[in-house]
Amino acid sequence: MAHEFILAVDDEEDILELVSYNLERSGFKVARVETGEDAVKAARDKSPDLILLDLMLPGIDGLEVCRTLKQDTRTASIPIVMLTAKGDESDIVAGLELGADDYITKPFSPKVLVARVKTVLRRAGTPAPGKDAVISINNLQIHPGRHEVLVKGNSIELTSTEFLILHQLVRRPGWVFTRQQLIDTARGEDYPVTDRSVDVHIVSLRKKLGDFGKMIETVRGVGYRFREK
């Protein structure tokens, strides 16, 4: 995992020092900038492997930086991990829906920071299975072409919406999906999907999947993810 290049963006010098020190100790190369404008320029000029992006920046804020980079074909594929003040749930949701890959709340543990960066880089280097590919996780199998889910070889009856939500989560294990992203996945199936009905579908999925239901984790105030292990 060593030698990947990380662009760290924060207007607080002590945070940049902490981030850089711990990432460099883990073998990463790190460049640091303090404004949104410099972040966009550095991302375009240096093509980092990952961007750690503070949301509270002078000038162009982190959300606008994320939006700009994800709309630019030169930078759209660069993973972005947001750094956000604890409790800024609306900003977390907005960032994820703009295309950010993960988030870390301040204050944070340096060990957790490095672990999350490594996880996002690993996921970014592993393409998601195609929409028609059969997915197998231990004794859980998902067959998109047949709209079938097997748990320990036994077929589980899911509604169309439940299947689509589960498939979206399992295709990207570890990724956080907001309720709106899951709504967009299932839109047009069964009936109009809302935030509340997403929660109801998740409850139903957990019951139907038995022990595997515990792998669907709630990310408080944000949405859901399928645990990687």
Average the pLDDT over 53-58 and give the result: 92
pTM above 0.85, yes or no: no
Quick one: pLDDT at residue 151? 92
54 DSSP 8-state letter: E
Pull the structure tokens for residue 134: 């059969």
Q: How high is the mean pLDDT of the chain?
A: 89
Asked, for residue 129, whether it belongs to a domain, the answer is no
Q: Which of 124, 148, 179 is the last residue of a domain?
A: 124
Residue 33 is predicted with a pLDDT of 96
65: left (phi over 0), alpha (psi -120 to 50) or beta: alpha
Structure tokens at 23: 């990432």
Is 104's pLDDT higher than 70?
A: yes
Q: Kindly state the percentage of the chain with pLDDT values over 90.
A: 64
Question: The tokens of 92 are what?
Answer: 């977390």
189 inside domain = yes
Q: At residue 70, does pLDDT exceed 70?
A: yes
Q: Is 120 in the same domain as 97?
A: yes
Q: For position 193, what pLDDT does the model report?
A: 62
The verdict on 168 and 57 lying in the same domain is no
Contact 50, 79 (CB under 8 A): yes
Q: Domain containing 76 — which CATH number?
A: 3.40.50.2300
Whether 117 and 178 share a structural domain: no
| Residue 189 pLDDT | 47
In a domain, 12, yes or no: yes
Q: Are the beta carbons of 147 and 160 closer than 8 angstroms?
A: yes
Q: What average pLDDT score do residues 68-92 get?
A: 89
Q: What pLDDT shows up at residue 167?
A: 93
Domain boundary among 89, 124, 159: 124
The answer, yes or no, to whether residue 160 has pLDDT greater than 70, is yes
* Alpha carbon distance 110, 217 (integer Å): 23
Residues 150, 154: Cα–Cα separation, whole Å: 5
20/113 same-domain check: yes
Residues 157 and 96 reside in one and the same domain: no
Final residue of a structural domain among 90, 124, 158: 124
Same domain, 222 and 181: yes
104/170 same-domain check: no
How far apart CA 27 and CA 23 sit, in angstroms, is: 7
- What pLDDT, on a 0 to 100 scale, did the predictor assign at position 76? 93
Q: State how many domains the chain has.
A: 2
Domain contains 217: yes
Asked if residue 19 and residue 52 are part of one domain, the reply reads: yes
55 and 79 housed in the same domain: yes
* 155's tokens: 């077929």
With respect to residue 34, please indicate whether it lies within any of the assigned structural domains.
yes
- Domain annotation covers residue 171: yes
184 and 88 inside one domain? no
Residue 205's CATH number: 1.10.10.10
Report the run of H or E that residue 148 belongs to, with start and end. Answer: strand 148-151
d(CA 69, CA 75): 5
Q: How many C-beta atoms lie closer than 10 Å to residue 219's C-beta?
A: 16
- Residue 1 in this model has a pLDDT that exceeds 50: no
Q: CB-based contacts of 7: which residues, under 8 Å, 6+ apart?
A: 30, 31, 32, 33, 39, 42, 43, 46, 48, 50, 51, 52
Give the domain extent around 87: 5-124
Place of tokens 């883990």: 26
User: Quick check: 188 pLDDT over 70?
Assistant: no
Radius of gyration of the CA atoms of the chain, in A = 19
136 contact partners, CB below 8 Å, separation of at least 6: 142
- Residue 130 within any structural domain of the chain: no
In-domain check, residue 59 = yes
Tracing tokens 């594929």 back to the chain, one arrives at: 77
**In this structure, are 160 and 119 located in the same domain?**
no
Residue with the two structure tokens 């960032």 = 95
Which element (helix H / strand E) includes 30? strand 29-33
Q: Residues 107, 139: one domain? A: no
Would you say residue 192 has pLDDT above 80? no
